[in-house]
Amino acid sequence: MFWSSWIEELATARAMEGNNTVATEVKQLLQRETERRDARLIRRVNGRLRSGGISSVIAPVGEDGAWVEVTDKEGIERALLDENQRRFNQASGTPFMTSPLYDAVGPLGISNGAKEILAGTFVIPEGTSPYAAKLI
């Protein structure tokens, strides 16, 4: 009884704010609640009430880099941080990320040096890797 009177009050307030009638608002609210209830029932039947977190990862651990399943919170965090560090720093030792090309091209490749490379007028600095020079 309390829930239905609350729905009616909410529908009345929403109808006063918008262009719908109270009956239309009640119908929409009840439809929305039915959809929510059905979705909860489906999740319960499928066994997915919560998304849950990561409970384990398989990652290289130790100096030998042996792959081990890690299940404790700190170990999982360390494994994920190590993998992100490895993945997102792969280019850090490449010719374009070290001097002298880094100084000429910049970190984003939008400097005058980068424009000169695209135009074919770039003068390759001394100390550039022969493979990078060939690529340019």
Domain borders along the chain are: 2-46, 57-88, 93-135
16-36 in b/e burial notation, b at 16+ Cβ within 10 A? eeeeeeeeebbeebeeeeeee
**CA-based end-to-end distance of the chain:** 77
Query: What phi, psi does 51 have (nearest 5°)?
Result: -75, -30
| Of 19 and 104, more confident | 104
How many Å apart are CA 136 and CA 132, to the nearest integer?
A: 6
Q: Which of the four pLDDT bands, split at 50, 70 and 90, describes residue 127?
A: very high
Give the DSSP letter of residue 6. H
Per-residue confidence band for 105, with pLDDT thresholds at 50, 70 and 90: very high
On average, the pLDDT of the chain sits at 86
- Residue type at 127? G
pLDDT at 111 over 80: yes
- How much is the pTM? 0.46
When pLDDT is averaged across residues 54-80 and rounded to a whole number, the result is 87
pLDDT of 51 strictly over 80: no
C-alpha torsion sign, points 71, 74, 75, 81: positive
> How confident is the model over 23-28, as a mean pLDDT?
86
Q: Please give the pLDDT value at position 86.
A: 86
> What pLDDT does 81 receive?
93
